[in-house]
Structure 1
């Protein structure tokens, strides 16, 4: 033992002379710490406990190996314990929490129950295929890039382009110019009191809310959901923003690298591929000084579904 001469080490008393137990001890094993047979020195529990205590007290530093990885890990631990310098806000608000104080308390209590009991309400179990992204999904994208995921959705029977997928938004937003192009009337909106809080804490009061059918994906790998949009009357290069409420209802997985959104359907994994050209056009439009070009138009033509099979004429 290299630490046998260390003054901090407390040697134990000799083991008691119990003849019955002594006869059962393994004579081939000898502990230099207890100075007796029965177990080896490197198996001695009492010795290990003392060594650990001395290391914690910093008395055996010259025996403890300290390499670059240990110093790096220590630095990361110290860095993670530092308090934050501030908070960078994202788009928050919407109607998911409700407007009354009771609904807001319930919204918070649900999460508290999950943290306390470790489980959430069970959803309907179904065998869903695994969702993954491959190198083939990235081949159609120009790299390197920092573009947003901008997709096309079928909203209220309109093919709506330039829809931003934003994981940082707690609300689904429909901009008022797009609302008007869908031939929707303002009296169809429901009033809303909760403002949207954007970057820097800026507040925007929505015009109202409206629930519209939204189809994502291509047949047959597609999903149809009723989406509660907050209608916002301000300039934007996007027609709509899809946030966490709808992404969660789709069980969607987004990939910024692949500019793609994937989601499980009854007929396999569906996909909404981002339009990289549209993403860059929207970015340039937002940076432009002329606000007149900042709201892109949607397709005003209503899409009429066509039959998937040849129809037969039946005489009645």
Structure 2
């Protein structure tokens, strides 16, 4: 190695794999151990690429080839092209990752704790992936400065689904019910789920169900086509769907809010999905107007339900017991109120003022039960 004397190069320890399973005919001068050749050392290649990106090892980099050679594109066959969509679903004007049981939640937390306590997981077969990066050229088509969200369009089944919010903070992929209805999939195909979603106005929202749909992103041939499980939610939103962490992680995608862009590795290089800045601002404005409208409706509804319908008059049922009273409405005529008062006083024995006044009640009339599982023994 010509760069072995460079101080920036960090030599690792010897290989941890069993020596009996390694080839003794191959020697790595970087690991100083048998098992593979130096030219095929993955760790060395990764460290050299990182040093070159940091501006180091420039004297070993050829100036004649500053850019990597373009990858050979395979011949495009007409049969490989996806069929055109049926129609478009445009703008309409908050998880199953860990499960709902406490046991599933504890297991989900324990998995990451075990990794942090025991160290790195055993190395598996690694596949060379293209390096994902963003440059100023990716942001040239945008209006700056901005704080816009990443709003993209996806191919979902036979439809182009627009106004899809890319949300790295969402632990689920959401499909709003109005968009689901336009796909004409049928509600009977929804798989029931009891995992609530938190974040829709600070309350828990239970999805109508889950559905798995075929999703395609990117331009051919740098595209990904995979099944994606959505939770269908019946809530008001200016978005048709939310793209959350489950799908972004499965695509190994990198997102940049500054560039309003998603990049992801494919077998034909790095694919790109650009956000629509105009659609993002339209959705934001529509959402603000929607919140004001909903808030006004809630206030008006609250005022209507809390306003008393009529005034009540308190009457005494037993002159010897001053605390035994009841109330009647005042909208009736004085004669009707007088007759009603006389009727209540005559039948005051039917009022129960204490537990002693209600002995031997038939269970068919009234019974009290504790809502507990009969399999659990009572504990005092």
Q: 2 CA distance for matches of 1:140 and 1:101?
A: 47
How far the C-alpha of 1:122 sits from its partner, in A, is: 5.3
Structure 2: 5+ residue stretches without partners: 1-93, 295-380
CA contact (8 A) 2:218 2:224 kept: yes
Q: 1 CA distance for matches of 2:139 and 2:264?
A: 17
Q: Map residues 161-176 of structure 1 onto 2, 5 A cutoff.
A: 161-176=162-177
Matched with 1:22 is none
Could you state the TM-score of these two structures normalised by the residue count of structure 2? 0.50
When the two structures are aligned, how many residues end up with a matched partner?
Answer: 199
Could you state the TM-score of these two structures normalised by the residue count of structure 1? 0.60
Q: 1 CA distance for matches of 2:117 and 2:102?
A: 23
Q: 2 CA distance for matches of 1:123 and 1:282?
A: 43
Q: 1 CA distance for matches of 2:286 and 2:234?
A: 17
Is residue 2:164 matched to residue 1:135? no
Structure (1 or 2) with the larger CA radius of gyration: 2
Matched with 1:225 is 226
Q: 1 CA distance for matches of 2:271 and 2:124?
A: 21
Q: Cα gap change, 1:185/1:194 in structure 2, threshold over 3 Å: closer, same or farther?
A: same
Is residue 2:213 matched to residue 1:212? yes
CA contact (8 A) 2:132 2:265 kept: yes
Structure 1: 5+ residue stretches without partners: 1-90, 292-316
Q: 1 CA distance for matches of 2:122 and 2:188?
A: 37
Q: 1 CA distance for matches of 2:240 and 2:128?
A: 35
Matched with 2:188 is 187
How far the C-alpha of 1:120 sits from its partner, in A, is: 3.8
Q: 2 CA distance for matches of 1:209 and 1:121?
A: 34
Matched with 1:159 is 160
The alignment yields a C-alpha RMSD, in angstroms, of 1.7
Q: 1 CA distance for matches of 2:158 and 2:190?
A: 18
Q: 1 CA distance for matches of 2:214 and 2:202?
A: 31
Matched with 2:285 is 284
How far the C-alpha of 1:199 sits from its partner, in A, is: 6.2
Matched with 2:107 is 106
1:272-304: per-residue Cα shift (whole Å, max 9, x none)? 00000000111111112467xxxxxxxxxxxxx
Aligned-partner SS, 1:108: helix
How far the C-alpha of 1:200 sits from its partner, in A, is: 6.2
**Highest relative contact order (Cα 8 Å, sep 6+), 1 or 2?**
1
Aligned-partner SS, 1:288: helix
